[in-house]
Structure 1
């Protein structure tokens, strides 16, 4: 059973409206609706608050919904996210140093220049993507 169905059933069993639940855990009513209709997933703090509100264990609430588990795994995997950010930052530094050291050779060879510039653009784009994704 999807987490949205579990949340809706638990709310109905407690006799609460979406507005009351939203006020209790400090989100909008639309957010509650999105969760209950599986359009989005709650973050880990909201899951804990909902678990407390509905007096339902986290185990019962989360088991059986692989998409929700994957969402929580991705949103809480800070170590992996930081590792990617550090790797992309270092790659950009290496490319920059490479361009400085081999400036004379690169500027004389049009194909090498185009390749290095392409690599730089891709590297910087991925780096900024990682930064944006982190926030």
Structure 2
């Protein structure tokens, strides 16, 4: 049984509506629906609140559903997230240094300008993605 089915079964066992749960957790009813239909997953704090509210152990709520475990690992792995952000910053600094050092040589070649522009767009996009992903 996946986490969505467990959440829905626990809610129905207590004769509660999605709206009532949403009000209790201060989220939208649509969020509860998405969790119950496995369109998205609750964060760890919401899982703890749901566990307390439904009087189900967190262990029994999460175990057995590989997708929620992967979601929790990805959303709570601060070290990996920091490493990706640091990597993105380092790439951008290195590219800036290369552009400044080889500026005269790059300007003389149209193809190098295009390659450098493409590298800058990709590197900056990766950096912005990492920054936005952390927010």
Same fold (TM over 0.5): yes
Q: Distance in 2 between matches of 1:87 and 1:40?
A: 28
> Counterpart of 2:133 in 1: which secondary structure?
helix
State the shift of 1:8 in Å.
Answer: 0.8
1:30-69 maps to which residues of 2 (within 5 A)?
A: 30-69=30-69
Query: Unpaired runs of 5+ in structure 1?
Result: none
Q: What is the number of residues matched between the two proteins?
A: 135
State the shift of 1:54 in Å.
Answer: 0.9
> Counterpart of 1:56 in 2: which secondary structure?
coil
Q: Distance in 1 between matches of 2:124 and 2:28?
A: 36
In the alignment, what sits opposite 2:115?
115
CA-to-aligned-CA distance 1:41-98 (integer Å, 9 cap, x gap): 1111100000001111111000111111111111112221121111111111111111
Q: Distance in 1 between matches of 2:46 and 2:92?
A: 37
Q: Distance in 1 between matches of 2:36 and 2:99?
A: 52
State the shift of 1:2 in Å.
Answer: 0.9
Q: Distance in 2 between matches of 1:31 and 1:2?
A: 17
How does the TM-score come out when normalised to structure 2? Answer: 0.92
State the shift of 1:130 in Å.
Answer: 1.4
1:120/1:19 CA distance change after superposition, 3 Å: same
Query: Unpaired runs of 5+ in structure 2?
Result: none
